[in-house]
Amino acid sequence: MNARQAQVESALAAAMPDAANAPQRLHDAMRYAVLGGGKRVRPLLAFAAGELAQADPARVTQAAIAVELIHAYSLVHDDMPAMDNDTLRRGKPTVHVEFDEATALLAGDALQSLAFEVLAQPGLVDDAATQVRMLNLLASASGSRGMAGGQAIDLEAVGKPLELPQLEFMHILKTGALIRASANLGALCGRQLDDGELIHLDHYAKCMGLAFQVVDDVLDADASTATLGKTAGKDAASNKPTYVSLLGLARARELAGELRADAHVALGGFGKEAERLRQLADYIVLREF
């Protein structure tokens, strides 16, 4: 896992414009936002799904960093004063604090463009029609019926009573869409999976998307700011509905365990080629930060 994370880090560093090139401050902010931190869960999922489809790791790397660039841009915008107004991310000042709001806005915008530029690299996969499909998939997972839409629902929900189905709908968009895209993009870099295989992989990814959020909520309620590298206890302070506030800590932990089990069941028909996906399910649920 450490090796994969290092590979992602160096691929991200290579994909981003050098901070010595104009506009320097913008490039500096983009690199600051993306490099030197993060668990790289989405890239790890893309690699694990790539192994399932015997994909060339060099190709998966490009798909993986495209997803990670989308994720990174969303964090930059999410932290801004108009949204979550957060000052700490991955143990460092957030981009608008370290630079300024206008630069944070533009850096996020440019990171989104860069994600599509990376994924639209000529010859990324053998069949260009598959590549177009991958681009369409990343775009729809990022947009108003995906990640950005989930953030909009999240914003509207602050201070309002939210029932479990609405909370789930929000997270399916906000976190789930991009996590599903990670797995699907990784797999699309390799041999063509049949419909049954795709359905199982997608179900696994849905479980992981929800589990990731449930565990995040548990950790936010539980852990200290130093361990998380971002402001802890923020959800409760901002009166945001979470799995913990709706279900209680014990039931939220239990739910995460059920989603992990469900993910393993979804992979039941696969052999050793799904081993990495199984390990990742365990990591996502059992992690402590």
Q: Which residues bind its own copies (CB under 8 A)?
A: 17, 21-23, 25-27, 30, 73-74, 77, 80, 82-83, 100-106, 108-110, 112-114, 116-117, 120-122, 124, 127-129, 131-133, 135-136, 138-140, 142-146, 148-149, 151-153, 155-156, 169
Q: How far is the CB of 222 from its own copies (least distance, A)?
A: 28
Check if the beta carbon of residue 188 is closer than 8 Å to that of residue 54: no
Q: Cα separations (Å) of 144 from 113, 140, 148, 169, 182?
A: 16, 8, 5, 13, 18
Which residue lies nearer to its own copies by CB, 174 or 276?
174
Q: How far is the CB of 67 from its own copies (least distance, A)?
A: 13
Q: How far is the CB of 60 from its own copies (least distance, A)?
A: 17
107 closest CA partner among 39, 42, 34: 34
- Token pair belonging to 245: 């506030």
Tell me how many helices (H) and strands (E) the chain has: 16, 2
**β-bridge mates for residue 258, sequence order:** none
Which residue lies nearer to its own copies by CB, 179 or 266?
179
Which residue lies nearer to its own copies by CB, 14 or 132?
132
Which residue lies nearer to its own copies by CB, 169 or 270?
169
Q: How far is the CB of 247 from its own copies (least distance, A)?
A: 23
41 closest CA partner among 31, 33, 29, 49: 49
Which residue lies nearer to its own copies by CB, 85 or 279?
85
Residue 87: burial class (beta carbons within 10 Å; 0-12, 13-18, 19+): middle
Q: Cα separations (Å) of 240 from 66, 107, 157, 213, 233?
A: 30, 27, 7, 13, 10
Q: How far is the CB of 106 from its own copies (least distance, A)?
A: 5
Q: How far is the CB of 248 from its own copies (least distance, A)?
A: 27
Which residue lies nearer to its own copies by CB, 10 or 113?
113
201 closest CA partner among 130, 136, 267: 267
